[in-house]
């Protein structure tokens, strides 16, 4: 299974990055203001036959912290997002296989109201790690977490992308690798 593939694309998702100015010691999750999504980014996606499924989700992870092992959703799935990491270079995203897929620990919502399923470390086996880049296609439908053991806070702009003809469907990893194939580094 492929968990992460780096891209090199000519656009950047936000217009104003000064909103990424948190100093809190607690992780935070919030949607980007739609008016702060760059027109260049939207136009470039459009030129690729793509659209954002919803505004970018922003994950703030303070330095020295990590988040729990989770999937973004209420069931194991195949969902690829395009994640842009600002600061915290060297922080890692880790992926896990489930030892028993029937055993879900906790289904909750994030601060942004998005579905989130948490797992206990003993329920999973580590399978892969990657230093997510600017940007990287990542699998968010299987258990994963972030460790930011760097000296800087880390912001992740996570863009869920769909084909224009099916604008709410998202992309599987295989679909994402196909639609972004000329941008893979
Ligand atoms: Fe996630």
70 Cα to the center of ligand 1, angstroms: 6
CB 96 within 8 A of CB 143: yes
Distance 84 CA to ligand 1 centre (A): 13
DSSP secondary structure of 50-103: EEESSSPEEEEE-TTEE--EEESSSS----EEEEEEES-TT-EEEEEEES-TT-
Report CA(138)–ligand 1 centroid distance (Å). Answer: 9
Full set of structural domains in the chain with CATH: 4-9+27-183 (2.60.120)
Q: Are 149 and 91 in contact (CB under 8 A)?
A: yes
Q: Judge contact between 139 and 95, C-beta under 8 A.
A: yes
CA of 54 to the centre of ligand 1 (A): 15
Going from the Cα of 43 to the center of ligand 1, the distance in angstroms, rounded, reads 26
Q: What is the pLDDT of residues 60-109, one digit of tens each?
A: 999 999 999 999 998 899 999 999 999 999 999 999 999 876 667 788 99
- The model's pLDDT over 133-146, given as tens digits with 9 standing for 90+, comes to 999 999 999 999 99
pLDDT class of 147 with cuts at 50, 70, 90: very high
CA of 81 relative to ligand 1 center, distance in Å? 10
d(CA 49, CA 164): 6
The reported pTM is 0.95
Task: Tell me the backbone φ, ψ of residue 95, rounded to 5 degrees.
Answer: -120, 155
pLDDT of the residue at 33: 97
């Amino acid at each position: 299974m492929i968990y992460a593939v780096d891209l090199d694309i000519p656009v950047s998702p936000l217009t104003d990055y000064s909103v990424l100015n948190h100093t809190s010691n607690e992780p935070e999750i919030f949607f980007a203001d739609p008016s702060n999504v760059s027109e260049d980014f939207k136009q470039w996606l459009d030129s690729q036959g793509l659209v954002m499924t919803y505004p970018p989700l922003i994950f703030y992870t303070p330095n020295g912290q990590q988040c729990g092992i989770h999937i973004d959703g209420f069931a194991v799935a195949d969902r690829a997002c395009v994640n842009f990491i600002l600061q915290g270079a060297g922080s890692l995203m880790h992926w896990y296989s489930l030892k028993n897929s029937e055993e879900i620990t906790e289904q909750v919502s994030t601060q942004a109201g998005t579905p989130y399923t948490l797992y206990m470390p003993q329920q999973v086996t580590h399978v892969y790690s990657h230093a997510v880049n600017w940007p990287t296609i990542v699998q968010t439908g299987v258990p994963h977490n972030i460790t930011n053991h760097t000296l800087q806070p880390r912001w992740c702009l996570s863009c869920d992308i769909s084909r224009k003809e099916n604008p709410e469907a998202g992309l599987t990893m295989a679909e994402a690798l196909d639609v972004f194939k000329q941008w893979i580094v």
